[in-house]
A and B are shown apart, each in its own frame.
Chain A
Amino acid sequence: QKEVEQDPGPLSVPEGAIVSLNCTYSNSAFQYFMWYRQYSRKGPELLMYTYSSGNKEDGRFTAQVDKSSKYISLFIRDSQPSDSATYLCAMRLEGAQKLVFGQGTRLTINP
C-alpha cells in the first residue's frame, strides 16, 4: 500500500464547475501538506501549503486538511480551462525535506 493515495483520474468537468481533489495518507506523522500543479512537460508549481488541520483559502483555491481522518482536499471554484493540468498532493515529516507524493490527478476543464 502506498503512503499517499490519490485517484489518478482523469477528471473532466465543464468550465465554471467546482472541482474537488483528494488524497488519503497512512502515516499520521506527516506534518506538512502541499498541493502542486503540473502542466505538461513542466515542473510542479506550488499552489497551496498547509501545516495544520482546517481550511486555507487563496483566491479560487481552498486546501483542507483533516489529520484525524488522514485526508486532504483541494477545491477549485469557478474552474477555468487554464486550470487543466495534473494536480499532485505531497506531504512530509517534521525535520525532513523528502516530499512523498500522490500519483497525481489529471484534470481537464472543458470550455
Chain B
Amino acid sequence: KAGVTQTPRYLIKTRGQQVTLSCSPISGHRSVSWYQQTPGQGLQFLFEYFSETQRNKGNFPGRFSGRQFSNSRSEMNVSTLELGDSALYLCASSSQGWGPDTQYFGPGTRLTVL
C-alpha cells in the first residue's frame, strides 16, 4: 500500500498571503489529522477529519482551517500568513479513527513565510 502523501513538499510564501496544503491518506483510511511541527513548540495537533466532518480541533486561531473530501483526501488552509506560521505541516491517517487505531504520518510540507 502506498503511504500518506502530501503536496507540495516545500512552499515559500510572504506574510499576508494564504496557502493550501494537500494530503492523500493511505487507501482505505477515513481519518485524517493535521499537525504543526516547530523547533520551539514541537508537534501540535491542528484538527482531525473523519467522513468529511471535523471531529476535533486543536488550539489554533481561526486562520487555520481544513476540509475533507468524499475520497478522504484532505486540505488545510492558512490565511493571512504570519512569520510564526513557518513550520513543517504533517498529515496523518488512520483507518477508522477510534479504538486502538494507529496513525501513519506523511513526509510533511515545509512552509516558509518571509
Binding site for B on A (CB under 8 A): 32, 34, 36, 41-46, 49, 51, 88, 90, 95-104
Q: Chain B nearest CB: distance from A93 CB in Å?
A: 10
Binding site for A on B (CB under 8 A): 4, 31, 33, 35, 42-45, 48, 50, 55-56, 58, 90, 92, 94, 97-98, 100-108, 110
Contact status B90-A97, CB under 8 Å: no
Q: Is the interface of B mostly helix, strand, loop or mixed?
A: strand
The number of inter-chain residue pairs (CB within 8 angstroms) is 57
| Choice from B44, B50, B98, B108 contacting A43 with Cβ under 8 Å | B108
CA distance A100 to B97 in the complex (A): 15
CA distance A88 to B88 in the complex (A): 15
Most B C-beta atoms less than 10 A away, residue of A41, A45, A99: A99
CA distance A1 to B42 in the complex (A): 15
Q: Chain A nearest CB: distance from B104 CB in Å?
A: 6
